[in-house]
């Protein structure tokens, strides 16, 4: 695993991960997998699309993870 990608879920990260944190993690992942720090012009579109798709998958993952023992947000009781 790339050491510069940090854990983005509670309780490691207080609160929710920001779009910037998710984007940075996605960029690091795509850089690691592709082997390119910055892609050539002819690969820029596919590189940027991959970063966006990994970021979206990360948002979905974080939204779906249930952290046991973590406090749940309080809401109106029904």
Instruction: State the residue range of the domain holding 54.
Output: 19-64
Q: Report if residue 47 sits inside a domain.
A: yes
With 0-12 CB in 10 A as exposed, 13-18 as middle and 19+ as buried, what is 26?
buried
Q: Report if residue 53 sits inside a domain.
A: yes
Comparing CA positions, the residue from 20, 1, 7, 4 lying closest to residue 62 is 7
Read off the pLDDT band of 70 (50, 70, 90): low
Q: Report if residue 74 sits inside a domain.
A: no
**pLDDT tens per residue, range 8-64:** 887 787 788 999 999 999 999 999 999 999 999 999 999 999 999 999 999 999 999
The residue whose two tokens read 């509670």 is 10
Other C-beta atoms closer than 10 Å to the C-beta of 28 total 18
Q: Report if residue 38 sits inside a domain.
A: yes
Q: Report if residue 75 sits inside a domain.
A: no
Task: Work out how many domains the chain is built from and give that number.
Answer: 1
Q: Report if residue 5 sits inside a domain.
A: no
Comparing CA positions, the residue from 3, 5, 8, 46 lying closest to residue 26 is 5
Q: Report if residue 60 sits inside a domain.
A: yes
Residue 51 tokens read as 């970063």
- Reply yes or no on whether the pLDDT at 1 is more than 80: no
- Reply yes or no on whether the pLDDT at 78 is more than 50: no
């Amino acid at each position: 695993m790339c050491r510069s990608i940090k854990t983005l879920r509670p309780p490691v990260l207080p609160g929710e991960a920001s779009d910037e944190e998710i984007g940075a993690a996605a960029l690091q992942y795509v850089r690691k997998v592709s082997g390119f720090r910055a892609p050539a012009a002819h690969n820029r579109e596919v590189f940027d699309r991959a970063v966006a798709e990994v970021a979206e998958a990360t948002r979905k993952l974080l939204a779906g993870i249930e952290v046991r023992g973590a406090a749940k947000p309080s809401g109106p009781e029904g």
